[in-house]
Amino acid sequence: MMKRAAWPIASAVLLGYPLIFSTPFQQRLGALILLYAIGASAWNIVGGYAGLISVGHAVFFGCGAYGALASYQYLGLPPIGGLPIGVAASIGIAAIVGIPTLRLSGHYFSMATIAVAELVRLVVSNSEWLGGAQGLSGPPVPRTLLDLSFVSALPYYYVFLGVLAAMLALTRQMERSRIGYYLRAIHDSERAARTLGVPVSRYKLYAYMMSAALTAVAGALYAVMFGFVDPESGLGILISIKMLIMAALGGAGLLLGPLAGAVILVPLEEFSNSLLGGVGAGVTFLVYGAIIVVIARLQPGGLLRPIPGALRKRSARAKS
């Protein structure tokens, strides 16, 4: 009953948010929440469902961001026109990186993804064509509507909401189809899944490539909104970690987990920076970090996972 009511309520809240909280900063905050939710949801496919903890998703985010701005820089396209280029590049990289690294298990996979991401960041930092250490920028002033450069955050909000909805619908579809079952089987026990005839390597790679492509979408949208990317802001390890933390905090492997994580963390970060940033000396991050620790301590499975956890406890008690 509650579950059935949750969807319309969530949709109504998301659609109505910028009309109720209508100051420019609040609308922008809403757009940022959705943008980070898109990135974290993309990570969730491989990190949550398949249980492969990637700490190098910044590579794919960077593909999207660099694809968008490079296609403006060299082809004169509106940045969003570079989206297919970024997505194609991310799928290509995912295939090249995935085939050897997906064979690694547990934290060895995580370490390999960090190494690849840092490698790509260094290569891009030294590649003049991609702006080197100075980065690439988008059109300084919008030329046409297609440049998607708006003063108000409202258009961004609804564009991001549409993308997020489409992405979640796709993920939901995936959850219920063969690949979804396979991924969960792999997550629970890779050896058992293999014994049952699941083509483990192939499906891990599919999930990895799908996650990469969707992460590139997030990167391209970021580049369109901010109009600038450099190696640190497009490929830095903090980006990978943010995606991971948001998904994990909200509930990795749950459809709405990443969105829940973003709803908590993005406002927390923006408000703590706005209220405390001017004080200096990083008070912001102390507060931010402390709250993450508190949530992780009280709700280790993610915010959206209280009910299954409680059930397990109850059944454990019943057995004893």
Partner 1 sequence: MNPTGLARLLAAAAFGLAVTGAAFAQSVKVGAIYPLSGVAASVGVYAKAAIEVATDIVNNDHPELGDLPLAKGAGLTGLGGAKLEVVFADNQGTPAAGQNQAIRLITEEKVVAINGAYQSGITLTASAAAERYGIPFLTGDSVAANLTERGFKWFFRTTPIASDFARIYMEFLKDMKAKGARIDSIAIVHENTEYGTSVASVVTSTFKANGLNITQNIPYSANATDVQSQVLQLKDKKPDVLIFVSYTADAILYAKTMKSLDYKPPIMIADDAGFSDPSFVAAVGNIVQGVFNRSSWSVGAPGTKTYLVNDMYKKKSGVDLDDTTARIMQGFMVLVDAINRAGSTEPAKIQAALRATDLKPSQLIMGFKGVKFDEKGQNVLASALVIQLQNGVNYVPVWPKDQAAAEPVLVYKGW
State the residues that interact with partner 1 by CB under 8 A: 23-25, 28, 32, 125-126, 132-135, 137, 140-141, 149, 151, 222, 226-230, 232-233, 270, 273-274, 277-282, 284-285
Specify whether the CB–CB gap between 71 and 224 falls below 8 A: no
Cβ distance to partner 1 smaller for residue 121 or 305? 121
131 φ, ψ to 5°? 85, 0
- Kind and range of the H or E run holding 136: strand 136-137
List 118's β-bridge partners, or say none.
none
Instruction: Report which DSSP code applies to 115.
Output: H
Cβ distance to partner 1 smaller for residue 75 or 275? 275
Rounded least distance, CB 138 to partner 1, Å: 9
Instruction: Report which DSSP code applies to 144.
Output: S
Cβ distance to partner 1 smaller for residue 48 or 135? 135
Rounded least distance, CB 66 to partner 1, Å: 14
Rounded least distance, CB 282 to partner 1, Å: 4
Rounded least distance, CB 162 to partner 1, Å: 21
Rounded least distance, CB 212 to partner 1, Å: 21
Rounded least distance, CB 43 to partner 1, Å: 18
Dihedral angle of Cα 77, 78, 83, 84, to the nearest 10 degrees = -30
Three-state SS at 198 = coil
CA separation (Å) from 99 to 12, 111, 317? Answer: 42, 15, 44
Rounded least distance, CB 91 to partner 1, Å: 25
Cβ distance to partner 1 smaller for residue 138 or 251? 138
Rounded least distance, CB 25 to partner 1, Å: 5
What sign does the dihedral 278-231-33-53 (CA atoms) show? Answer: negative
Residues 237 and 218: their CA atoms lie apart, in Å, by 16
Q: Report helix angle 237-250 to 24-44, nearest 10.
A: 90
Three-state SS at 280 = coil
Cβ distance to partner 1 smaller for residue 12 or 290? 290
Rounded least distance, CB 99 to partner 1, Å: 31
Name the residue among 22, 16, 32, 34 with its Cα closest to residue 168.
Answer: 34
Cβ distance to partner 1 smaller for residue 26 or 299? 26
Tokens describing residue 276:
């405390």
Cβ distance to partner 1 smaller for residue 86 or 135? 135
Cβ distance to partner 1 smaller for residue 115 or 165? 115
Tokens describing residue 59:
């590579």
Tokens describing residue 171:
């993920």
Cβ distance to partner 1 smaller for residue 50 or 225? 225
Dihedral angle of Cα 8, 9, 15, 19, to the nearest 10 degrees = 150
177 φ, ψ to 5°? -100, -175
